[in-house]
Amino acid sequence: MTQCNQTAFPFEVHFSRQVVASFDGARMTTDGGALLLRRVDRKIGLLKRVAACFTDTRDPERVEHPLPELLAQRIYALALGYEDLNDHEELRRDPLLALLAGKRELGEPLAGKSTLNRLELTPAGSPSTERYHKIGYSAESLDRLLVDIFLEAHQKPPREIVLDLDATDTPLHGEQEGRFFHGYYNQYCYLPLYIFSGEHLLCARLRPSNIDASAGSREEIERIVLQIRRQWPKVRIILRADSGFCREELMVWCEAHDVDYVLGFARNERLRRKIAGPLREAKREYQRTGKAARVLVEFFYCTRSSWSRRRRVVAKAEHLAKGENPRFVVTSLPAERWPAPELYERLYCARGEMENRIKEQLSLFSDRLSTETMRANQLRLYFSSLGYVLLQALRRLTLQGTEWATVQVETIRLRLLKIAAEVRLTARRIWVRYSRAYPWKALFATAYAALSG
């Protein structure tokens, strides 16, 4: 990183006065609102449990930066918008980040980029005698923790939940392990799998891209459903995903374990012939009105070889200005409970909201997977996911019922957390003084009050 040696920065004059800026003011932070995140963590008990998912075989007498402090520093920094380990060369002197990380003496520096980098690089099964790689993690424990946080967010078991699955591409620009070229995305990338229930993140699994989009999804769903039903044995579960997940293995497992599904179904000529009449009807309606027209129909269907049984298919016969636009959905849900229009328009189309959740992962830098091994990059993905869990909990616990209830986490970061503040230490107090000109004082007060109950 380039060192800054300049001490004064003159700018254009303001009438008769010179304008000069310098970095010699009081002890300041740009993240004064992060105290709300700290209070959120106390509410949901996240970081303490994250630390329990790691093992630290360093010699305690030689440890300058304890494991909980390292993890808190890394996760809070991602939540606050600092994507790179290099950022910590300056951040390690930020007094508020030291407070968040649990540093007793705020004047002492936090861990630098090299120490944080070693946190990520321990290979599986690394012996405790290995000199540098002494901190490991349990992926299974972190996976369980994500589902536990989801379960604890509900005061009582819901009658029904929807689990959304989707895959996305993470571009790669180096020689990372598991790097393959993906023809659809036209680049070298990973293909992580995400599973959400509403805004709650239940799974973030890193995968190479030389696989089917649904690869490993049955195992992940099986694990999550088992954990949910241990606590909520009577909850109805619906699996929702696009046609990339419409696979016999997944549907058969759902049918055998009382899990319903509504999955996109890739069109083919046989399916098109089945809705030829509704397509003509939609075309006539389009020609009459000049507006997009659709007709929803349903039927039972079985493929010639890949399916083991007939299944209910809901079809959208649609005609647009560009021509016909048929779409198909296969489901285990009965028509009595979910008629075709309601199933397609209200249940299946709501799947699009998951795109916003994936965008939020990117705002937490889930695409910064530039280290060498899959295991290390999976840990980076976990860190981004845990940063999201903190921000999502802040939104859920403090902003419900306000005009900000559905804003993206990046907006929360920029408006509620990025507050310039002076940090002053006295014998009995840590004073964090915000600017009087901060424009969202009322919202900050509302969030504080919600977290104080």
Residue 93, CB-side half-sphere exposure with 13 Å CA sphere: 4
Q: Are 371 and 120 in contact (CB under 8 A)?
A: yes
Surface-to-core class of residue 250, CB atoms within 10 Å of its CB (0-12 exposed, 13-18 middle, 19+ buried): buried
pTM of the predicted protein model: 0.92
C-alpha to C-alpha distances, 211 to 149, 197, 207, 244, 377, nearest whole angstrom: 30, 24, 8, 11, 18
pLDDT tens track, the chain, 453 positions: 556 667 788 898 888 888 888 876 677 889 999 999 999 999 999 999 999 999 998 888 889 999 999 999 999 999 999 999 999 999 999 999 999 999 989 889 999 999 999 888 877 765 555 666 789 999 999 999 999 999 999 999 999 999 999 999 999 999 999 999 999 999 999 999 999 999 999 999 999 999 999 999 999 999 999 999 999 999 999 999 999 999 999 999 999 999 999 999 999 999 999 999 999 999 999 999 999 999 999 999 999 999 999 999 999 999 999 999 999 999 999 999 999 999 999 999 999 999 999 999 999 999 999 999 999 999 999 999 999 999 999 999 999 988 899 999 999 999 999 999 888 888 888 899 998 899 999 999 999 999 987
Q: What are the structural domains, with CATH classification, of the chain?
A: 8-139+364-451 (no CATH), 153-363 (3.90.350.10)
* DSSP per-residue string spanning 63-121: -SS-HHHHHHHHHHHHHTT---GGGHHHHTT-HHHHHHHT-SSTTS----HHHHHHHH-
